[in-house]
Amino acid sequence: MTQADALPEIFRPYVDDPRVTIRRGGEPLKDGKCIVYWMQRAQRGIDNPALDLAISLGNELGLPVITYFSAISNFPHANLRHYVFLNQGLPDIEEDLAERNVSFVVRRPPHHQLERLLQEVGAALVVGDENPCREPERWRRVLSRRLQLPYVTVDADVVVPSKLFPKHQYALHIMKPKLYAELPKYLVAHPNRKAQHAWKRPANFALFDVREDVTKGWKELDRSVPPVDTFVGGSHAATKRLKDFVENHLHAYPKKRNHPEWDGTSRLSPYLHFGHISPVTIALAAQKAVDQGKATQDSYDVYVNELIGWREISVNFVKYVPNYDSLECAPEWAQKTLREHARDKREPQYALEELEQAKTYDELWNAAQMQMMKYGWMHNYLRMYWAKKILEWSPNPASAFEYAVILNDKYELDGRDPNGYQGIAWAIAGVHDRPWFERPVFGTIRYMSGASTGKKFNSKRYIENIADGNWSGD
């Protein structure tokens, strides 16, 4: 008997879909009253493959669909800055779901347990999205063992399903041919179907008003990092930013993307991290701009290499390398060279607190750190330099990796993300890179100097922009 033969009829069309993982099989509960989509990473009501699957299953079973979001107060390394951005996106989700005849239920502690919600609404089955990071994946595994009803998850935040790459890809040039060969199949518009049946909320049913402060009363939440006004969370803000980028900036992307003093990048990474926008949506909008003559094919290719190439090898890295957020993720050659240079003299050497407060001799590095602290975002080009200088100034490579992760996750709106961990791993631990020329401290890890980096763009203007508070996300 094949796996497809053993599955209930309703799941058989999806058994060979690499975007779908059937975590707990079985028949949908016969007395089920609805389908529940447990939304976590893909926080959007449109262009969402997990939601699309929930609606398709609901329509097939003649059941309404509920999207459930549990606003937990202790998500790993999240602070007030992250929660405010998340909170700003909730009304957009509610509005977009209503257009699709799907109800949105948000709850906070102590009444936020998914299993409790499933019992209250009489769920027939559960659909979820996926998250390759360690702790969220553990939650999904635990849930699949505890649930007494079918549970499937959908790889909703990559273009090409991660399952098509069953092991760690050691370099982008190795992964890229297969990745790009799959794009015609997966780089297609989302169906955004409507649910055929509406859910009627029972009397006295508890839910949170998405326009209220989701963090109210959370005494243990880290409130030391304030929100930023340079980014507004939500799918609608993401769509607006995307439109501006593809119409006004994409054409110059190859030239301006490595110039931090210019407004040349998409600045969509916070929205991608929270799932406020789909990478498919972004790539299709970029292609449309090319078709309309607003951008060149070259600009599209360079941008998609970042959006799909580097982003999806980052997801692959986190999915298959258990210690993705520590120096242990380094390939063997990098571990060897860093061990050999672990005792090299570091001068100057800075403590974590000095780095955090941007108290180094390097004005360019300080400006990059201040951009992250003030605005919740750092220009991609400077993220490489920022991390490499931390390696140069820290007591040892392991501490450098730890410091970079702490600062990135604390201040970046797109922190706590595969892209961030991969970027740090590339800069400090040689992941997805190759050995370079031997030098003190770095060994054969690729080196970046302040002098050469600062000459590649108008670093003086960038530093002045950050110091004067002129840089804004708009």
Give 46-90 pLDDT, tens digit per residue.
Answer: 999 999 999 999 999 999 999 999 999 989 999 999 999 999 999
Strand 65-70 relative to strand 34-38, pairing: parallel
The pLDDT tens digits of the residues spanning 142-181 come to: 999 999 999 999 999 999 999 999 999 999 999 999 999 9
Q: How far is CA 54 from CA 69, 152, 234, in A?
A: 14, 10, 21
Q: How crowded is residue 232: how many other Cβ atoms within 10 Å of its Cβ?
A: 20
What per-residue confidence (pLDDT) applies to 233? Answer: 98
What per-residue confidence (pLDDT) applies to 472? Answer: 52
CB-based burial, 98-122: b 16+ in 10 Å, e otherwise: eebbbbbbbbbeeebebeebbeebe
Residue 232 structure tokens = 């507004």
Residue 118 structure tokens = 């499933």
Q: Inform me whether the pLDDT recorded for 343 exceeds 90.
A: yes
Name the residue ranges covered by the structural domains of the chain.
3-156, 235-320, 327-468
pLDDT interval class at 7 (50, 70, 90): low
CB 241 within 8 A of CB 269: no
pLDDT interval class at 3 (50, 70, 90): very low
CA 3 to chain centroid? 32
Give the mean pLDDT of 325-344: 97
Pick the CATH number of 327-468 from 1.10.579.10, 3.30.365.10, 1.10.3720.10, 1.10.760.10: 1.10.579.10
Q: Inform me whether the pLDDT recorded for 2 exceeds 80.
A: no
CB 57 within 8 A of CB 127: yes
Q: Which residue has the tokens 């049946």?
A: 197
Sheet holding 34-38, edge to edge: 20-24, 151-154, 123-129, 34-38, 65-70, 103-107
What per-residue confidence (pLDDT) applies to 1? Answer: 33
Contacts of 279 (CB under 8 A, 6+ apart): 157, 158, 159, 272, 307, 308, 311
What per-residue confidence (pLDDT) applies to 4? Answer: 42
Give the mean pLDDT of 318-330: 98
Enumerate the β-bridge partners of residue 24. 151
Q: Inform me whether the pLDDT recorded for 454 exceeds 80.
A: yes
What per-residue confidence (pLDDT) applies to 9? Answer: 84
pLDDT interval class at 469 (50, 70, 90): confident
Q: Which residue has the tokens 């780095």?
A: 355
What is the percent of the chain where pLDDT is above 70?
98
Q: Inform me whether the pLDDT recorded for 474 exceeds 90.
A: no
User: CA-CA distance, 348 to 360, in Å (whole number)?
Assistant: 9
The pLDDT tens digits of the residues spanning 363-400 come to: 999 999 999 999 999 999 999 999 999 999 999 999 99
Decide which of 467 and 224 is more confident: 224
Which of these, 416, 422, 402, lies nearest to 355 by C-alpha position? 402
- Span between the terminal Cα atoms of the chain, in Å: 57
Q: What is the CATH number of domain 3-156?
A: 3.40.50.620
β strands within 41-89, DSSP E: 65-70
What is the rounded average pLDDT for all residues in the chain? 95
Residue 337 DSSP class: H
CB 63 within 8 A of CB 195: no
* Alpha-carbon dihedral angle through residues 329, 330, 332, 338, given to the nearest 10 degrees: -140
What per-residue confidence (pLDDT) applies to 463? Answer: 95
pLDDT interval class at 425 (50, 70, 90): very high
Q: What is the CATH number of domain 235-320?
A: 1.25.40.80
CB-based burial, 123-141: b 16+ in 10 Å, e otherwise: bbbbbbbbbbbeebeeebe
The pLDDT tens digits of the residues spanning 206-260 come to: 999 999 999 999 999 999 999 999 999 999 999 999 999 999 999 999 999 999 9
